[in-house]
Amino acid sequence: MTITDRQDKPAASSRAGQLSRRLADAVYVILLWALVLLAGWHLARHEIYWDWSSTGRNVLSTESLEVLSALQSPLTLRVFVAPDHPLVREIEQVLMRYRRASDKVKVDYIDPIRAPELAREFDVRLLGQLVLDYQGRRESLARLDEPTLTNAIARLSQTRAPWIALLEGHGERSPSGGTGRDIGRLGQWLEQRGFRLQPVDLARLSRIPTNTDVLVLSTPSIALFPGEAEALIDYVSAGGNLLWLLDPGDWLGFAPLAEALGIERLPGQIVDAAGSAFDVAAPNVAVVADWPAHALWQGLGAPAFFPGAVAFAPDLASRLAPDWQLVAELASGEQSWNETGPIRGKIARDADLGEQPGPLPFLLALKRAVPSALRAGGGAMAASALAEQRLVLVGDGDFLSNAALERGANRELGLRLLRWLGGEELMEAKADHNDQPLALTTGQAFAISLFALVILPLGFLLLALASVWRRRHG
Amino acid sequence: MLWVIARRETLTLFQTGLVWLLLAACSVILGWVFLNLLDPFVGVDPDSLEQISIGALNRQLVRELFGAAAVMLLLIAPLLASRLLSGELRDGRYLLLSAAPLSSFEILLGKWLALAVVLLALALLPLLLCLSLALGAPVDLGLCLSATLGLWLLGLLFAAVGLFAASLSAQPAAAAVIAYGILILLSVINRAETAATLSLGLLDWLSWGQHLFWFLIGAVRLSDLGYFLLLAACFLAMAERRLANLRFQ
């Protein structure tokens, strides 16, 4: 559309002039857009940005940066969601920081509806599920935040598969057995996740192999021989990592090891009234539903169930053998105690029998620095390359048994503990001072409403009236 | 001379009372959105609230409030722009102006700057509301500032598109309709059902929603700054070409 039609010139030459001007305009517009798109494309290739938010949500923590800098080859993150889904923005908010921090991180958005065979191959169950792929090893994440993703990348970049030795020969919980008491399902599940399991019989071997990353002890049915307990003490003092699943009852030959570590148990087993809230019929099941704040159980939503657990002495931290530090612990609920009598009929706490009120600790994660003499000498365990020796004591072996493995968060908790023992570094969630709930008093709310709905609009309205008045009279 | 025009246009907009009325209307709507967002948090026991934290509220608040303000900018900027330019083209005032020793570039830039001032006032409204919340809760000021910057840049782009549309038509209403057409195209272009992934990247880049999003989460990215300024410059350049053509006709 032309705005002014001033046709002074002869029609023919004007038409030719108009045509050439149109052509010039078209070329101008095309060149202009090409320039803009090229410049925009160039800018988009370099992700330079500044984080203005006070929470620093848009920058990576140093732990994550360290993990990323250790990457040797490309890490592919496959996100199973359509690229135009609103969820992508939320996901991209987290992934952008990783992509920016390392050029090894590649992100693929895959629409599970358009690529169903791929979704099947990666066992996708959720929209927005993330599958990490690093040097042929894969890991699937159902939730996405920085600690979860960083821990997963750290796990994947560990090249060696941890060796897990399981003590056997005395009727321990068997990694190949199928009864309710055995840990066959856990064993299977661990092997699928890259752990290598190795039964160890101290009647045939004089000591625990030095390439063991984690030794798992469970309660036997026949007592250990003194020489075998000796071998276990040697293993721990040489810097070996240990998962010890205890049960109520006698020490069954483990007493020297417990003494060497400075561990004391309370008599009886834990009974916890909190269990009834989770449809647990038996009173002797300790339930952890409110996970304490620690990276080891961060993100575990479901409760974990510990049937027939033995409690450790509440002031255990002060009695531990030298150098050992308590990293984290799980305790039973407020309404629990260690029942020494049989669990039958109506039971109540009897202080005279040494029954102490809850909360009672029944799962301890301990660590100590590996003595430097060990690291220099030849006798150290392979695992002590970590410079830190780790120990997990659980007052209950049943929570990983075939019967209880699938309950709540039991399986995930077992995996976390073994991974930590195997040398996985944990990234603590950043304490966020902004993560308190907000509540406005009625007075505050009234003041805010008054400002937003009355003062502000009315002020503008008055200014409008004033300007009109000034134009008329001023 | 550029500043003279910018000043004259700004004063015209404010003195007619139109801008003040717009600000009043917008503040009522935004205030309503704002209070609706806050409503669940009034007069409740803090212990019973665990579903949303202050950090999450800040993010939600910024996203919803500034998102609503962006829609208002989309409606208002073309109207103001068409009033500034189309109106003048229709009354022939533009011919008078162009007879002055001024390049059409200066005229255009002056008008654009005047719009920038008005739109800044509009972009500051959500920030004001967020600041009023500081009475009862820690407000993430950086986040609000980055969102305000994003909103203003969005307004600048909309103003440039509005001026370009106004240069196409001497009828303010027609100009506004053309501007809405272009802006709505820029809003939904990334939803185009194109299967080819390559072109999707380009269309994605062209739509403003993607770019505003990063400002709303507190990340000021160079590429988003570049997008708004480049696209605004592009529409201004096309408008300038159009006005320069008029002069030689």
**Structure confidence at residue B198 (pLDDT):** 44
Maximum average pLDDT range among A175-189, B22-36, B98-112: B22-36
pLDDT band at A274 (very low <50, low <70, confident <90, very high): confident
Pairwise CB contact (< 8 Å): A439 & B44: yes
DSSP A370-421: PPHHHHHSS---GGGGGSEEEEEEES-SGGGSTTTTTSTTHHHHHHHHHHHH
d(CA B205, CA B225): 12
Residue pLDDT, tens place only, B166-186: 999 888 899 999 999 999 988
What mean pLDDT comes out for the span A137-141?
81
Q: Give the one of B136, B138, B238 whose C-beta lies nearest to A444's C-beta.
A: B136
> In A129-225, which ranges are continuous DSSP H helix?
146-157, 184-192
| A420 pLDDT above the threshold of 90 | no
Does B233 have pLDDT greater than 70?
A: yes
Residues in Cβ contact with B164 at an 8 Å cutoff, skipping those fewer than 6 apart: B179, B182, B235, B236, B238, B239, B242
In the numeric block, the tokens 């967002």 are attached to B37
How far is Cα A443 from Cα A317, in angstroms, rounded to an integer? 48
pLDDT (average), residues A181-201: 85
Q: Which of A241, A246, A71 is nearest to A163 (CA)?
A: A241
Confidence of residue B48 (pLDDT cuts 50, 70, 90): low
How confident is the model over A404-419, as pLDDT tens digits?
888 888 988 998 898 8
Which residue in B13, B16, B20, B227 has the most chain A C-beta atoms within 10 A of its own C-beta, making it the best mutation to test that interface?
A: B20
What's phi and psi for A137, nearest 5 deg? -95, 145
Nearest to B238 among A32, A50, A445 (CB): A32
Question: How large is the average pLDDT for residues A57-75?
Answer: 80
User: What is the predicted pLDDT for the residue at A437?
Assistant: 59
Q: Is residue A23 helix, strand or coil?
A: helix
Kindly report, residue by residue over B96-106, the tens digit of the pLDDT: 777 777 788 88
Give me A46's structure tokens: 């370099």
Q: Which residue from A minimizes the CA distance to B209?
A: A89
Highest mean pLDDT pick, A158-162, A331-335, B130-134, B178-182: B178-182
Q: Which residues contact A187 (CB under 8 A, 6 or more apart)?
A: A166, A175, A176, A197
ipTM of the complex: 0.84
pLDDT of A385 = 56
pLDDT of residue A3: 47
**What does the alpha-carbon distance between residue B18 and residue B11 come to, in Å, rounded to a whole number?**
11
Which of B24, B42, B56 has the CB atom closest to A460's CB atom? Answer: B24
**B53: confidence class by pLDDT, cuts 50, 70, 90:** low
pLDDT at B62 over 80: yes
Determine whether the interchain pair A452/B214 forms a contact, defined as Cβ–Cβ distance below 8 Å. Answer: no
Q: In Å, what is the CA distance from A389 to each residue of A125, A130, A203, A308, A375? A: 37, 32, 26, 28, 11
- For the cut 80, the answer to whether the pLDDT of residue A364 exceeds it is yes
B246 or A361, greater pLDDT: A361
Confidence of residue B88 (pLDDT cuts 50, 70, 90): confident
pLDDT band at B197 (very low <50, low <70, confident <90, very high): very low
Q: Which of A10-19, A213-222, A243-252 comes out lowest in average pLDDT?
A: A10-19
Which residues lie below 8 Å from residue A332, measured CB to CB, with a gap of 6+? A270, A272, A274, A286, A287, A288, A309, A311, A358, A359, A360, A362
Nearest to A52 among B129, B218, B223 (CB): B218
Pairwise CA distance, residues B73 & A453, whole Å: 20
| Closest CB from B20, B125, B249 relative to A464 | B20
Whole-number percent of chain A with pLDDT over 70 = 90
Does residue B68 surpass a pLDDT of 80? yes
Cα–Cα distance for residue pair A355/A269, rounded to 1 Å = 10
Given this model, what pLDDT does residue A381 score?
63
Q: Among B31, B223, B234, select the one facing A43 at the smallest CB separation.
A: B223
> How many angstroms separate the CA of residue B199 from the nearest CA in chain A?
12
* pLDDT value at residue B218: 84
| Structure tokens belonging to residue B106 | 């200066």
Asked if A461's CB is within 8 angstroms of B21's CB, the reply is: yes
Chain-chain contact of B143 with A453 (C-beta, under 8 angstroms): no
Cβ contact, residue pair A437, B50, below 8 Å: yes
Lowest mean pLDDT of A342-351, A451-460, B122-131, name the range: A342-351
Bridge partners (DSSP) of residue A285 are: A307
Q: What pLDDT, in 10s, does the model give residues A290-325?
A: 888 888 887 777 889 998 899 988 887 788 888 888
Residue A245 binned pLDDT confidence (cut-offs 50, 70, 90): very high
The confidence band for A7, taking pLDDT boundaries of 50, 70 and 90, is: very low
Cite the DSSP H helix spans in B92-221: 93-99, 104-132, 141-168, 172-188, 197-206, 208-216
Looking at the predicted structure, is the pLDDT value of residue A246 above 80? yes
pLDDT in tens, A442-456: 888 888 889 988 999
User: Lowest-pLDDT range, A151-155, A283-287, B62-66, B200-204?
Assistant: B200-204
Q: How far is A468 from chain B (nearest CA, A)?
A: 6
Strands A241-245 and A214-217: parallel
Does residue A4 surpass a pLDDT of 80? no
Q: Which residues contact A315 (CB under 8 A, 6 or more apart)?
A: none
The answer to whether the Cβ–Cβ distance between B219 and A49 falls below 8 Å is yes
CB-based contact B35:A452 (threshold 8 Å): yes
For the residues A453-466, what does the mean pLDDT come to?
Answer: 92
Contact B219 A37 (CB under 8 A): no
Sort out which chain B residues have CB atoms less than 8 A from A3's CB and list them. Answer: 89, 169-170, 246
Q: From B238, which residue of chain A is nearest by alpha-carbon distance?
A: A29
* B17 vs A10, residue with greater confidence: B17
Beta-carbon count within 10 A of A418 CB = 23
Residue A344 C-alpha from the chain's centroid = 39
pLDDT of residue A2: 43
Residues A331, A358 contacting (CB under 8 angstroms) = yes
The whole-number pLDDT of residue B230 equals 95
**Interface contact flag, A457 B27, Cβ < 8 Å:** yes
Q: What is the mean pLDDT of residues B214-234?
A: 90
Inform me whether the pLDDT recorded for B50 exceeds 50: no
pTM of the model: 0.65
Distance CA B173, CA B90 (A): 11
Which chain A residue is nearest to residue B167, measuring alpha carbons? A3
Residues 6+ apart with CB under 8 A from B159: B77, B80, B81, B112, B115, B116, B119, B232
Q: Chain B partners of A57 at a C-beta cutoff of 8 Å?
A: 55, 217-218
Share of chain A above pLDDT 90, in %: 11
Whether omega before A283 lies within 30 degrees of 0, making that bond cis, reads no
